[in-house]
Amino acid sequence: MNIKSLLLGSAAALIAVSGARAADVVVAEPEPVEYVRVCDAYGEGYFYIPGTETCMRISGYVRADIAGGDNVYARKRGDIDRDTYAWRTRATLRFHTASETELGTLRTFVELRSQWDEGAEYDHKGDSASGQLRFAFIELGGIRVGLDESIFSHWTGYYGNVINDDILTPMAYTRTNVISYTFNAGNGFSAILGVEQGNDDADDYGYRYHNDYTDVRDVREHKLSGKIDDYTPNVVGGLKFVQGWGGVSVVGAYDAYYEEWAAKARLDLNVTDQWSVWVMGGYKSADDYYNGDDTYGTVLKDKDGTHDTDYSYRYRNGLTKYGVYRQVNSIYGDWGGDWAVWGGTTFKFNKKTSFNAQVAYDDTDTFAASVNVKYELVPGLVITPELTYISWDNDYSIRNEIKNEKIVDSLKGQDAFQGMLRIQRSF
């Protein structure tokens, strides 16, 4: 055997052995990197929860709001002036989950909020309550159930990109237990239908005076409520069509407690890539309700030397020269009078800076306007200075027949101006 034959035989043997061993090798399964790509499909920031088929995203913000000047949200005469600046600090934490099922994408959303407002916890009860479950709902195949904003509030969009956008509607940011179904046609058209419970968050709900009486000796009272009191739910529905040029949306609500309805319609236009405008109108069938304003004026004492808290007794006996103020009685259409209109614009100077404005007017001759500039100092940190003005000129009044004098809305002829700075870090 020569050297050449030996080398060829050795090579053949090595190939045979290597082939045999290769047959015994088990290829390792790839790491589950596919989950990363699946989670990305739900949006930026989602990550895979090990040991499950669920993707999660954690987001939120920390915000500081500092306001000076008048209180533009005042509903009573004595609440307009501030003794000092208003300072609110808020922390919000949000949890989003998503996973695929045979019935579609299963989602959940939870928002927790804690707020330090004017030197006290969220509800101004000191340390007894330091947080709030703001939202918590489940969504599957277009069906949503849980705690959410009212469809009437969010379906048409909010009142522009200003901070103080809901001055005419102080209960506009409403929460309620809701069951809804949203249909999305995939071509820009969508529709929603839901039933809601409402809420009683407002601090002045109770027995109040109706706005159609003229003789204070014959006061009629009505229990106000922002939620249902039997098995008939509030019903809300809406339609929407969105394209590159903008969109059109409408929403309507039936308030089962009052057996009244309200509706809003909105038009959005993208004039250019930088400039957009919008206009919205609302109408409601429900009446407004008023109560005595005891925050200003001359207070006369009763015979026993005390101040009587029964407003009807005071009016009947001429014990005070109070005005009246409008109550918030429903989570649907809580503007003054029958109708209200809003309009606004946004102009983007660049990726970091935008100008925003909103004006509003309702049937009680209340006018409001806000302007601001949003500036992203660094990614995730936005600074927003804002100016807000409001004037009240409501002609509503009642007559005290005993003293033969007219009792008017206590805010009539008043106005307020506020400056505000918001600093927000979102993540």
| DSSP codes joined into one string, 137-171 | EEEETTEEEEEEE-HHHHTT--S-S-SS--SS-TT
Greatest mean pLDDT among 178-182, 199-203, 307-311? 178-182
Rounded CA-CA distance 255/235 in Å is: 7
Cα angle 177-178-180, degrees, rounded to a multiple of 5: 170
Query: Looking at the predicted structure, is the pLDDT value of residue 182 above 80?
Result: yes
List the CATH code of the domain at 68-89+158-426.
2.40.160
Top-confidence residue, 347 or 207? 347
Percent of the chain at pLDDT > 90 equals 62
pLDDT digits (tens, 9 = 90+) for 327-355: 888 899 989 999 999 999 999 999 999 99
- Region 215-243 average pLDDT: 82
pLDDT at 216 over 90: no
What distance in Å separates the CA atoms of residue 148 and residue 199, rounded to the nearest whole number? 11
- Quote the pLDDT of residue 405: 72
Most confident of 1-5, 117-121, 172-176, 252-256: 252-256
Whether the pLDDT of residue 195 is over 80: the answer is yes
Q: Which amino acid is at 231?
A: Y
72 confidence band (pLDDT: 50, 70, 90): very high
Q: Residue 269: is its pLDDT beyond 70?
A: yes
Closest alpha carbon to 277 in 226, 348, 326, 179: 348
User: Rounded CA gap, 293 and 284, in Å?
Assistant: 25
Question: Tokens 């009142």 identify what position?
Answer: 159
Query: pTM of the prediction?
Result: 0.83
Hey, how many other C-beta atoms are within 10 angstroms of the C-beta on 167?
26
At residue 221 the predicted structure's pLDDT band, cuts being 50, 70 and 90, is low
> If you search the block for the tokens 């009505």, which residue do you land on?
222
Gyration radius from the chain CA atoms: 30
Give every CB contact of residue 305 below 8 A, 6+ residues apart in sequence.
none
Coil/strand/helix, residue 120: strand
**Average pLDDT across the chain, whole number:** 84
